Amino acid sequence: MKNILTLLLSFAMAAISHAQTIKRGIPYVENGHARHVLDIYSPANAKNLPVVFWIHGGGWTSGDKTDVKTKPQWFMNKGFVFVSTNYRLLPDVDMGTLIRDVAKAYGWMEKHIAEHGGDPKRVLVGGHSAGAQLAAILCTDDRYLKAEGASFESLIGCVPVDGDTYDVPAIIETAETRLRVHHLPPRVNGHREKFGITPANHIDFSAVTHVAKGKGIPPFLILHVASHPDTSAQAQRLAMVLKEAGVPVKTFGAKDTSHVKLNDDLGLPEDPATKALTEFVAQVLKK
């Protein structure tokens, strides 16, 4: 009898932990574009919970807010409200407009997340691939959030996942040199074109450019594939700049994985990167 009661209790607790409210396709721009929408995942009876603001990848040309796998449930089990946003894509808009779309989504979230049980003063920003660059720039270049009336001080952490464009000039030089020395043709619509052709644009869209002491930049956990030379180098480059500015930062190079799998596996039991994320989340919530 005792075993049956224990089993029933565990089932009940599991049901409670998985109870949630999901609201999809919420517009964050009035009469905006079809991609000016976001999804909100809230635990049952959520109130004043910290928030995750997640930015999907896809090379700035594709991707969707629904590509989150187990992350919403994992974060809700940790006591977060999870927000996943869409934004307009290249080549329909330029990079600056794309980043401003993400900032608009953040601004809307800050104004309305309390209605969904979230605390707008405690927000962790994360993203994968292109979303990693967008997360990093949002958390280092305060102009974007300030333009939307959002508070840079509300950021409690940033988790960019396997990005290769925290230092855009560096990745352009790396990629183009690799092609040139192997006598291969240049890429069509590569990073040089995506980030706006001019060196000034490339510098301005690089998170490393905007890191400085005293800005209130939040702690970073930079996840990357250990065997990928470009994302590993970019992770180390961003980490070095953050450390020099006195910003708490940790890097984690995941082994035996891939660019897609690293992101897809976040939130799975026994996943090494998830364990690093668990430790990071626990630390930022203490502050």
User: In 3-state terms, the chain is what percent helix, strand and coil (to 5)?
Assistant: 45, 20, 35
pLDDT digits (tens, 9 = 90+) for 9-51: 444 444 444 568 999 999 999 999 999 999 999 999 999 999 9
Please determine, for residue 8, whether its predicted confidence score (pLDDT) is greater than 60. no
pLDDT digits (tens, 9 = 90+) for 91-144: 999 999 999 999 999 999 999 999 999 999 999 999 999 999 999 999 999 999
CATH of the domain at 132: 3.40.50.1820
Q: Judge whether 16 lies within some domain.
A: no
pLDDT digits (tens, 9 = 90+) for 162-194: 999 999 999 999 999 999 999 999 888 899 999
Q: Which of 6-10, 22-26, 67-71, 224-228 has the lowest mean pLDDT?
A: 6-10
CB atoms within 10 A of CB 275: 12
Please report, rounded to a whole number, the percentage of residues in the chain having pLDDT higher than 90.
90
Q: Judge whether 17 lies within some domain.
A: no
What average pLDDT does this structure show over 59-77?
98
Give me the half-sphere count of Cα atoms (radius 13 Å) on the Cβ side of residue 41.
25
The answer to whether the beta carbons of residues 178 and 185 sit under 8 Å apart is no
Closest-CA residue to 228 (of 257, 205, 249): 257
In the chain, the number of structural domains is 1
Q: Judge whether 222 lies within some domain.
A: yes
Q: Judge whether 260 lies within some domain.
A: yes
Q: Judge whether 208 lies within some domain.
A: yes
Measured between alpha carbons, how far is 220 from 168 in angstroms, rounded to an integer? 19
pLDDT of residue 9: 40
Could you tell me the residue range of the domain that residue 125 belongs to?
Answer: 22-166+202-285
